């Protein structure tokens, strides 16, 4: 069943078209891929993958965390990836006993300079350098605001689980309490918990364009989640995945991570223009954007500001008309 559907996916994607019509070819790169049977993982140095923390491997999946409190686990590739254009297909499963929003905290997929470092970002270190894609299953900000008895504004309301991408340059922090909003590249809601069918996350990086898609409806169809051009990621980083539980928990299981090399035809000029990237960045975007008060205006505030300005203009018009009436009256009186 599982291998069948991934076969279909592979066949469907073995030749595909890029946005601008260029044809691309895909090749599965086994050295960067994690799939059944997970031979030698966590046992010896012979495997391409290394386990960490509470992660464990069974015949059917790599369990990053079990459905217990305060666990964290990860799996990391041992080999840095020097491919320029690639696509990562992540087959995963998040499931547990917790009812809606009484589960946590989620899992992350990484392409970073650092590897095998414990920390607060879904079990991985903060101030990371590279790309993180988070499947965040717990709405921390919403709960925080509720606890502070602040009315929750529509601007910030999001349905969780939420998939979010972030690019770090080593000096910016993931804000866990705010679910990473100040540093997000973009994202989408995704009901990924306790699904009966297989769920997939798809990360494509071609010509510095980052695209994230999901297949979580059991239809073998990819749904767009995020599409950002101008994402500069250095080569030679490591792929990995991590997960964490806190007071609330879930099983975070990885069934496979398959990396495909994409061969993209580039003109000579394009090749020459593309100088090597040393620090991750995104064109025309600050990686950290603290929300100011003005930016934090909710749609309710905007609505009332517009309403009051319109009332103001109307009032001015009325006053103007009244004054004009008085003026013409007194002028008439002067003439008689």
Ligand X SMILES: *[C@@H]1O[C@H](CO)[C@@H](O)[C@H](O)[C@H]1NC(C)=O
Q: Which residues bind ligand X (CB under 6 A)?
A: 169, 171-172, 279, 286-288
Q: Which of Ca ion, ligand X, none lies near 102, with the C-beta cut-off 5 to 8 A by kind? A: none
Least separation in angstroms between CB 216 and Ca ion = 18
Q: Pick one of 6, 140, 242, 245: the residue that binds Ca ion (CB under 5 A).
A: 140
Residues 6+ apart with CB under 8 A from 153: 298, 299, 300, 301
In the complex, what is the shortest distance from the CB of residue 177 to Ca ion, in angstroms, rounded to a whole number?
Answer: 9
Q: How many residues bind Ca ion (CB under 5 A)?
A: 4
Q: Based on CB atoms, which residue is closest to ligand X, 102 or 277? A: 277
Nearer to ligand X, 279 or 323 (CB): 279
Residues paired with residue 108 on neighbouring β-strands, in sequence order: 134, 242
Site residues (CB under 5 A) for Ca ion, limited to 159-218: 179
CA dist 13 and 307 (Å) reads: 51
What, of Ca ion, ligand X, none, does residue 179 touch, CB below 5 to 8 Å by kind? Ca ion
Question: Around Cβ 180, how many Cβ atoms within 10 Å?
Answer: 24
For residue 85, state whether it binds Ca ion (rule: CB under 5 A): no
* Between 108 and 255, CB nearer to Ca ion: 108
Q: Nearest-5° angle of CA 198, CA 85, CA 182? A: 70
Least Cβ distance, residue 170 to ligand X (angstroms): 6
Neighbours of 39 (CB within 10 A): 12
What would you report as the CA-atom Rg of the chain, rounded to the nearest whole angstrom? Answer: 26
- 136 makes contact, choosing from Ca ion, ligand X, none, with CB < 5 to 8 Å by partner type, with Ca ion
Give Cα separations from 84 to 30, 81, 145, 280, 294 (angstroms).
Answer: 16, 9, 42, 14, 39
Distances (CA, A) of 80 to 115, 116, 234, 289: 10, 13, 11, 30
Q: How far is the CB of 287 from ligand X (least distance, A)?
A: 4
Residue among 179 and 198 whose Cβ is closer to Ca ion: 179
Residues that bind Ca ion (CB under 5 A): 136, 138, 140, 179
């Amino acid at each position: 069943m599982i291998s069948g559907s991934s076969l279909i996916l592979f066949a469907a994607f073995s030749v595909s078209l890029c946005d601008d019509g260029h044809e691309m070819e895909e090749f599965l790169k086994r050295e960067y891929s994690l799939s059944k049977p997970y031979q030698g993982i966590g046992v010896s140095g012979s495997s391409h993958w290394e386990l960490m923390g509470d992660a464990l491997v069974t015949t059917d999946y790599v369990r990053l965390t079990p459905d217990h409190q305060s666990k964290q686990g990860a799996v990391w590739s041992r080999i840095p990836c020097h491919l320029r254009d690639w696509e990562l297909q992540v087959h995963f499963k998040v499931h547990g006993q917790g009812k809606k929003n009484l589960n946590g905290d989620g899992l992350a997929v990484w392409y970073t300079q650092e590897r095998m470092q414990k920390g607060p970002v879904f079990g991985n270190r903060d101030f990371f350098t590279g790309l993180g894609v988070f499947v965040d299953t717990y709405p921390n900000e919403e709960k925080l605001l509720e606890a502070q008895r602040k009315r929750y504004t529509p601007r910030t309301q999001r349905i969780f689980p939420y998939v979010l991408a972030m690019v770090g340059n080593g000096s910016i922090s993931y804000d866990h309490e705010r679910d990473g909003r100040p540093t997000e590249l973009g994202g989408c809601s995704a009901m990924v918990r306790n699904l009966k069918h297989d769920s997939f996350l798809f990360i494509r990086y071609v010509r510095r364009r980052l695209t994230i898609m999901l297949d979580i409806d059991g239809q073998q169809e990819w749904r767009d989640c995020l599409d950002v051009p101008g994402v500069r990621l250095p080569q030679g980083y490591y792929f990995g995945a991590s997960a964490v539980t806190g007071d609330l928990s879930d099983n975070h299981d990885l069934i496979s991570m398959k990396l495909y090399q994409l061969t993209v035809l580039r003109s000579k000029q394009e090749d020459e223009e593309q100088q090597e990237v040393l620090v991750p960045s995104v064109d025309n975007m600050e990686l950290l954007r603290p929300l100011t008060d003005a930016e934090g205006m909710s749609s309710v505030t905007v609505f009332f500001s517009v309403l009051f300005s319109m009332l103001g203009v109307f009032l001015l018009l009325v006053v103007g008309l009244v004054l004009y009436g008085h003026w013409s009256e007194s002028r008439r009186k002067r003439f008689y």
